[in-house]
Chain A
Amino acid sequence: MDTIKQTPGEKAFEAVNLTLVLLITIILLYPLLFVILASVSDPRRIYDTFLLVWPQGFNLESYKAIFENGDIWIGYRNTILYTTVGTAINVFMTILGAYPLSRRRFYGKNVFTFLFTFTMFFSGGLIPTYLVNQSLGILNSIWVLVLPGAISVFNLIIMRTYFQTQIPVELEESAFVDGCSDWRLLFKIVLPLSMPIIAVMILFYGVGHWNSYFDSLIYMTDRDKFPLQLFLREILIKNSMQDMLGVAVDEQYSQRMMAREGIKYSIVVASSLPLLILYPLLSKFFEKGILVGAIKG
């Protein structure tokens, strides 16, 4: 694309586009900035002025509150484990489900698609699922966190659409002529061409695992298996236990509640920072895809 010359019209277009993008970026960015600033501010001062462009009373109390509790590191460790294992399973299984559905010659593909989509809408609910997991004997283990959610139909459909549009039949045919089996075709040829969508899947599933807490809430009984989010939420929720209306509180109550305000923000930063670094790394895959596509053309 860089070789295409630019007319004045093009230049104008770019200028306008850039301005709009920057404007939107600022709107999207400011509240985030607010979160970061609030997380390093004295919680009691957050409401002092109505525009926070600088930390009010810079302090790291909110971060101390999270990290001085040794549990947090257990949380990080567990979450990293669950996320890597889980995402790997997710991506692998989703590919296995999406690829066949994307082939026109696949006999029964509409049936499968319908069945899979059906599960997006109709589910037995928490208790039957719990009982199933119980029968499988996977309670309170990593498997109950990564297996039941192995495939998200939403993601599967997205991936299928990608395969449909990006992997033409001609490619398949020439591969078969060369004596390639379905498996080899999938893994040796199709996947390398699908890096962008795989990158997106890694991101989607990865973030899903990273932020999840409900399943652990229900299934994990050992504290040393808790994921990060559970510990973080504990810190927030705990104080509200005393919110039985009117219950006599102690003198430090208000201070704790105020501190909790600041903690709300530092929690967001602590839990999302690792993720935000992920995309720039993954964006390399997006570029790669374009390159390979050009070659195949």
Chain B
Amino acid sequence: MKNAWVKQGLVGGLAVAILAGCQSGGGDSAGSGDSGSGGKEGKITLKMARDSFTDVHPASKDLWMWKKYEEKTGIHIEWEEIPGESSAERKNVMLASGKLPDAFYQTGFSSSELVKYGEQGLFLPLEDLIEQHAPNLKQWFEKNPEVKKAITMPDGHIYSLPYIDTALPYRSIRLYINKTWLDNLGLQVPKTTDELQAALKAFKEKDANGNGDPNDEMGWVMPTGFINGMFERQLYGSFGMGNGGYKGAASWIYKDSDGEVKLIFNDPKYKEVLQYLNGLFKDGTLPQLNYSGYEYAQWAADGSAGKVGAFSWGDPHYIGTIGAKDYIGINVLAGPHGDKVVNWMDPMTRQTSSFTITKSNKHPEETMEWVDYFYGEEGSKFGYFGIEGETYTMVDGKPQYSEEIRTYKGGVQLGAFQYVDNVYGGGYPYAEPDMELRSAVKGKTVDEDFKTNAAELEQFLPEEVWPEFSPTAEEAKKQAAILTDINKYIQQMRVKFVTGQADFGSGWDEYVATLDKMGAQDYLAIKKGQYERYQSVK
């Protein structure tokens, strides 16, 4: 009888610590004046553990990018590739058996794991190393203090390196609405929540896809379970709960206009969100499939058959090729009280634990230099595009992947992935290049890529975009216990509110009271404390 050990679904990405050796012939970004550590006699070998993607591209030891990088830095990496499915158990076992690699690359650790292992000395504190050996990363701290704040743990130390992306479209999602149907019915792209409701209703009633069957149009629909994290969260921004960004919403907190940090799930504004969704449900434009057995493959099939009115994602391709063809992205809707905030926005530090250095590491300085390269402009481009002349060429001042990559059987992204690492999977210890370049390399502009007006995003950013606040060990225990129950309760209740099985009068009051019994106020207190600590980091 085997115990099924708790699988942690969080696998951010093994932070492959790219310890980039300094070198920089190009003299850009600070710190290139480093004395080349590659000049040491004897090759340094570092053992790094990472999540494996070996079924879609060569193992890291054979990957073009790493081979080139070894030539550049003189540091040899011995990769241990962990099959993604088991990474939680493997991690535990690795840590327990004492056989630590020198670094964890692209592996995600939760904040409490970082704190625990940092305090026990398993992971080295990195602030000093950064100060002395990571000039590129230091520059990021100086220009964007929020990056440093995001990775600083409650004990004041930094135990891991961030995954940084400045591009707003990559950090947010949009509501993709069927433009063809809008055109068919002569409707404008909705700008408010009311207009959206009307448009979805019209889709349903007026045979928007024009095939004669009045009943096959669906409103907003996605595979079961997505609505909670996608559409519902987007709406927080239209109902006044957007300040705090995506990670705030994911922790059920926001900052109200009075400057107070508040809970979302028992807020009257949340009630309005659920009432809005209930309205859609009653219209018939929010199918019950969102909450019960509807799988991705079936949804995508329905999408290509021209049955889906709206969905939400970072880009339109999620539903298939019809996404880019027929849909257009709405970045933000104005709510009934005029609130207009892109709530679903990740902070610039998309991941806080992309790279950790363990106590087994005999060359922490070189390791830090090795990874710091990727936070500079040159390293950033290297990780995504490769080397000019080899994997890409410059066309009209913009990079374009080589012919071989562009014509790769599985598509451009996978094609690039056969050479460079940082185009698939996310969560690497590096800073993404500019978004214009990323779209250009695929042959598009940013707006074309995302089917939207990307400039809007900056206009309607929340005032503050929080990372996930790091908890102390005590806080972690408490909030975990409270959250598990609260999340479960909300999961059950919200669908009842939306589908009308629970009423918004006494039903809502009872719901709020139960949440308090589960410890909602204690949770809020913890979060407030964490917020204060976050603000106080210099």
Contact = CB atoms under 8 A, between A and B. Distances in A.
Given A131-B96, A245-B230, A257-B300, A218 B90 contact: yes
A273 interface: no
B301 A47 contact: yes
A133 to B, nearest CB: 10
Contacts of A121: 1
A69 B57 CA distance: 11
Interface in A95-134: 120-121, 123, 125-127, 130-131, 134
Contact of B92 (A44, A127, A237, A258): A127
A215 to B, nearest CB: 9
A235 interface: yes
B13 to A, nearest CB: 8
Contacts of B85: 217, 233, 237
A241 B296 contact: no
Interface in A159-188: none
A103 B479 CA distance: 56
A246 B230 contact: yes
A254 B315 contact: no
Contacts of A126: 3, 5, 89, 92-93
B55 A127 contact: no
B411 A214 contact: no
Interface in B308-347: 312-315, 317-321, 323-324, 344
Contact of A127 (B53, B86, B93, B321): B93
A218 B93 contact: yes
A214 B90 contact: no
Given A47-B297, A257-B300, A250 B86 contact: no
A66 to B, nearest CB: 11
B55 A217 contact: no
Contact of A249 (B51, B301, B317): B317
B297 A258 contact: yes
A257 B424 CA distance: 15
Interface residues of A, number: 46
Contact of B426 (A130, A131, A244, A254): A244
Contact of A241 (B317, B412, B425): B425
Contacts of A296: none
B86 A123 contact: no
B538 interface: no
A241 B414 CA distance: 14
A37 interface: no
A131 B94 CA distance: 10
A134 B92 CA distance: 14
17 contacts: A44-B301, A48-B301, A71-B55, A126-B89, A127-B92, A130-B97, A214-B86, A238-B84, A242-B425, A246-B172, A246-B312, A246-B314, A248-B170, A248-B450, A255-B321, A258-B300, A261-B297
Given A44-B301, A223-B54, A246-B172, 6 more contacts: A127-B93, A237-B83, A241-B84, A242-B424, A248-B170, A251-B324
Interface of A: 43-44, 46-48, 69, 71, 120-121, 123, 125-127, 130-131, 134, 214, 217-218, 221, 223, 230-231, 233-235, 237-238, 241-242, 244-258, 261
Interface of B: 1-3, 5, 11, 51, 53-56, 59, 80-81, 83-86, 89-90, 92-93, 96-97, 169-170, 172-173, 226, 229-230, 296-298, 300-301, 304, 312-315, 317-321, 323-324, 344, 410-414, 424-426, 450
Rank and list the top 6 A-B pairs by shortest CB-CB distance, nearest first.
A252-B411, A250-B413, A254-B320, A217-B86, A248-B314, A246-B173
